[in-house]
Amino acid sequence: MTIRGLPLLNFGFDTQSRTPLDSGISDSGSPSYDDETTVKRWYHYIPVCVVVLLILAPHPSLLFMLVDFHLLTMDQYLVFGIHLFVTYALTFLAFSSLIVCIARDPGPIVIPQPVGSSDADDSLNFTEALMTSSEDYDQHSGWCRKCWSPRPERAHHCQMCGRCVLKMDHHCPWLANKCIGHRTYPAFIHFLTCITLLALYIAVVSIFALKYAFTNPLGVNEVTPMHELGLAFAGIVISLVIGPFLLYHFYLISTNQTTLENVTPFMILRDLPPLPHGNHFLSDPPLEAELSSAQRRLVKDAHGYIRLYDLGWRKNWFQNFGWVHKKTLLFRLFFGGSSMGDGKHFPRNPKSDELLARLAKELVNSEDPHS
């Protein structure tokens, strides 16, 4: 997490100008975490305004079609009420999860205070920070040298946000230029699901109404088929655009991967065990730039079957959307909620350690002795 665009850990000087850091600290002496309102610019919100406009744009035509076709033409008052309820229920749920994605922090890296420290002293020196990292995070944790904060497993540094995010999935410019992480990923999936279902529903309703207009051209308003055609086209296009993206994330959830973990095969290098002793020149853990073409192929092939956090699709879905109480289930249905756990520690696939050890051995054996 950053403090008004500055690193969470600072040593009293700006890293570029070497001037004292007096911004980002409130009058009470405690750091202010309102970085989103100071870093964001007005043009960062243009894409999300376009998203809102695309959600609301079909509704005037939809209301005209429902009133003219189901009420005035077919006298289907119950069907009209059902279509109206489903459409605006999905719209309301989509906006609920959209607000959560924009307003909620995706996953802050909060450094716990040492035992016995006072609340007034909110800064940690370098030694205390290193001690905190080693004690509070497991062996797969690291240290981010860009924002100077502990980096738990599955956390990544976002260049656009200038901070690390717990279980970062990706940076989304369409949602107010924010990251999708541990605390917003279920809401993001909820939003995609509602948008896809809404587009499909509008498309199906419009296609049935358009079919009636073609078979009964004299019994309908001559303007209504134009609205039905436009709604059907828009619904199909949005479904074809958002639907495959949603199915891709269903696959990621079923295999317990993030987008970054899925598209970046060399990320597993940092999880390798110590390399076997021998005559090799690889770092420990190896760096991507050090690998030969044969070693890079080994890593890419291993990325297809080494799923570090895959516990089976049932446990994977529960880890992302599980609930403990009935009230939390209501939150999941209402706006998606947040993922289970603290976002810092994740159970691992019991077979992953053996597969990683095998990959480490193969990387050493495949190294060119003359390189």
Query: Residue 104 and residue 36: Cα distance in Å, rounded?
Result: 10
Both structure tokens of 1: 């997490």
Identify whether the C-beta of residue 246 lies closer than 8 Å to the C-beta of residue 193: yes
**Residue tagged 């991967």 (tokens):** 257
CB atoms within 10 A of CB 125: 10
Both structure tokens of 114: 């040492």
Query: Residue 310 and residue 355: Cα distance in Å, rounded?
Result: 13
Helix-strand-coil percent breakdown of the chain, rounded to 5?
A: 55, 5, 40
Query: Residue 86 and residue 84: Cα distance in Å, rounded?
Result: 6
Active site members = 172
Contacts of 108 (CB under 8 A, 6+ apart): 1, 33, 166
Query: Residue 144 and residue 69: Cα distance in Å, rounded?
Result: 60
Helices (H), 104-219: 126-136, 185-215
Query: Residue 5 and residue 336: Cα distance in Å, rounded?
Result: 28
